[in-house]
Structure 1
Amino acid sequence: MKIIIVGTGVMGITHANAIKDSEILSLVGFVGRNFEKTKKIAESFSTNAYTDIEEMLSKEDVDILDICLPTYLHEYAVSMAIKYKKHIMCEKPFTLSCSLAERLSNKAKNAGIRMMVLQVVRFWPEYVSIKNMIDKKVIGEIQNIYMNRLSTYPKYSSWFRDPSKSGGGLYDLNIHDLDYLYYLFGEVKSVYATGQKSSKNSYDAVTANIVFVRGITATVECNMDIKGEYPFTTCVRVIGELGALEYNSTSRYDDNFDNVKYNELILYLEDKKPNKIGVTQYNPYQKQMEYFARCVLQDKDPEIINMNDVVYVLKMIKAIEKSLETNNVVFDI
């Protein structure tokens, strides 16, 4: 299937590299604001360069629009794809507004267009393994889960620090873990969150306590504004009646101050030694994009992540935001 990438930033290049090794996706070109930059990138992938989405869509035979733009530009790109009847992949967060997300989703659905927001954690090898083990009750019934996602602010673009454009850490970073939790456990009964606004007036450091309708509890920690050369760090710790699963991913500095990647998933069961789980590695970006392409080819909506999920996770974020503002438990998700 033929695909155009809209956006020439880090995610646009990441997606292009994923498509390069795909047998079912073919990259037709890039759309970017700076023609010289876009042309240089396009040439490196032996494809075409444009500065205008509508011009590209009027000229190119393309099946899917892959939107890798800053969040505040998603609405325009999605609207153009719908106008020209192109299927849509869009980077997260889809929007900062539940009503806008619903409106765009309904507009695409009514036009017969398939759309998927790229919540890549649902396709990430270790997170897929964790879900499979939870579903198989390897550690029995789940009691609680802890997750974190910690980083510095991205240095490659300034728009992240404008909460009106990115939503800050709560929307741009925390959304990954909140989306994964909803994927695992479904609807939420209540949330209570603590945190404080940054100098940019966004919630970049948040700890949320979540109770799911199923009775499972979760604590989710997010910080997108750690100073210094703090490595991107994630953790998932799942406690069950029979044991625990813990996944840690970070970069550590050795004695020579070289950055060394650390990535480990451990299974703990009673009366057994800890077991390091071997996880088959693959490119999760390629996996999610090919999954969507197959859905389009089969003329069906994506099941791993659908637009109802996207809207619900935005509602979870709004509930956390409300709890932060009121210092109260929020029940109306």
Structure 2
Amino acid sequence: MQRVSFGIVGSGFMGQSHAKALAAIPDACVRWICGRDTDKVSELASQVGGQGTTDLEEVLADPLVDAVLVCVPTGLHKDVAIEALRAGKRVLCEKPVALTLAEADAMIAAAAEAARRAGIVEGDREHLAAHFLMIGHVLRFWPEYEELQALNEQGAFGGIASLELERLSTAPKWADWFSDLSMSGGMVVDLMVHDFDIACSLLGVPQTVTAWGAKPPSGDWKHVHVLITFAGGGKAHVVGSHLMPPAYPFTSSVRVVGEQGAAEYRYTAGGTSVTDSAAMPSPLIYYSAEGVRYPLEEGVAADPYARQLAYFIGCVRENRAVERGTPLQAKTALAVALAARQSLATGTSVGIELTK
């Protein structure tokens, strides 16, 4: 395979971001942009050298399309992804994987079946699915979060005693569907799932979730605290918000405290979106008995979205399963999010039981 040819479904903010990133990658090309807004579709297609259509079947019937990027509202993920998988296309789907665990399971089953039809037979259902389906949990490609994972695997923390993650934002204005729970799942599912995924990557299998927060009288939860307990005894405290004032910049942070060391990273965007320019990130800092260390060299801050795409393209070209952004990892993060919503609704702790 020379270049991986993409069909992008969705011409909104994420579809535009991915299309422009793909157009700059030598190993990829954008063959189709598919969406409901003909003007947006035509404009974006002309910018990246692809064809525009409002008909998904036209994209999936094209034998030159190797992979499909699903950038539609979350409530539509399952149907679009399964159609693409049944057409034999590899799929990179935006996070969260879906709105329910049943939907996630249906996507995993369809991806595993696509792998079997392609002659891949080794491994269980989840491993088979990872050959054809990746979920865009982009923090796994953010250099500072990658380095935190590496430090943990090297034993630099000596066992994590405390994990704190925070993601604060104004209410998103770049798409109307965020306010529709049937499409987005709300802030807990759409925004906080990023940090639930990182917590699981560092601490393992989640067991119980306890959540509390604030919401307007006639709206959904806007500022939420979530305490996650893991099978190994670890705990993570995650804070997410869409309640910040309009002038408040998008801000995220992570702090890991262990018996032998600690690390901290804080990111403040130049505006209300994570992609706004003039960002003001603090460097990742690792603290230990030997002193202070800055694990990452200056200048490594490559675009995480481009790095995620390059990783997916490599997996497609080499016909191998993804190991980051796997369907099972995404389903686990979604399970935490749904348990948090249940805890908010009931005022009780909620157990998590993941079945394969």
TM-score higher than 0.5 here?
Answer: yes
Specify the alignment match of 1:193 in structure 2: 211
Distance 1:46-1:218 versus aligned 2 partners, 3 A rule: same
Specify the alignment match of 1:209 in structure 2: 227
Specify the alignment match of 1:120 in structure 2: 138
What is the CA distance between 1:322 and its match in structure 2?
1.9
- Superposed, 1:36-185 pairs within 5 Å as 36-59=39-62, 61-112=64-115, 114-185=132-203
Are residues 1:220 and 2:238 paired? yes
Compute the TM-score of the two structures, normalised by the length of structure 1: 0.92
Distance 1:290 1:153 in 2: 30
Distance 1:42-1:252 versus aligned 2 partners, 3 A rule: closer
Specify the alignment match of 1:272 in structure 2: 291
Structure 1 spans left out of the alignment, 5+ residues: 254-258
Distance 2:341 2:335 in 1: 10
Which letter does structure 1 place at the counterpart of 2:289? E
Distance 2:97 2:251 in 1: 23
Q: Deviations over 1:82-138 (max 9, x none)?
A: 232111110011211101110121022112270111110111111111111121122
Which letter does structure 2 place at the counterpart of 1:137? G
Give the secondary structure class of the aligned counterpart of 2:280: strand
Distance 2:347 2:190 in 1: 22
Q: Percent sequence identity over matched residues? A: 32
Distance 1:198-1:296 versus aligned 2 partners, 3 A rule: farther
Compute the TM-score of the two structures, normalised by the length of structure 2: 0.86
Distance 2:293 2:203 in 1: 25
Which letter does structure 1 place at the counterpart of 2:332? Y
Structure 2 spans left out of the alignment, 5+ residues: 116-130, 272-276
Match of 2:248 among 222, 230, 236: 230
Distance 2:98 2:269 in 1: 31
Give the secondary structure class of the aligned counterpart of 1:324: helix
What is the CA distance between 1:209 and its match in structure 2?
1.0
Distance 1:252 1:80 in 2: 38
Give the secondary structure class of the aligned counterpart of 1:261: coil
Give the secondary structure class of the aligned counterpart of 1:262: coil
Match of 2:268 among 247, 250, 254: 250
Which letter does structure 2 place at the counterpart of 1:58? A
Distance 1:251 1:74 in 2: 28
Query: Which region of structure 1 is more displaced relative to structure 2, 302-311 or 164-173?
Result: 302-311
Q: Deviations over 1:251-307 (max 9, x none)?
A: 479xxxxx8522121222235246474351212212222222222233232112321
Match of 2:26 among 20, 23, 43: 23
Are residues 1:320 and 2:340 paired? yes
What is the CA distance between 1:329 and its match in structure 2?
2.0
Distance 2:105 2:233 in 1: 28
Query: Which region of structure 1 is more displaced relative to structure 2, 162-171 or 289-298?
Result: 289-298
Q: Tell me if structure 2 keeps the 8 A contact 1:244–1:268.
A: yes
Query: Which region of structure 1 is more displaced relative to structure 2, 205-214 or 172-181?
Result: 205-214
Question: How many positions carry a matched residue from both structures?
Answer: 328
Q: Compute the RMSD of aligned alpha carbons.
A: 2.0
Distance 1:270-1:17 versus aligned 2 partners, 3 A rule: same
Q: Deviations over 1:55-103 (max 9, x none)?
A: 2222462000001111122122113212321111100112111011101
Specify the alignment match of 2:118 in structure 1: none
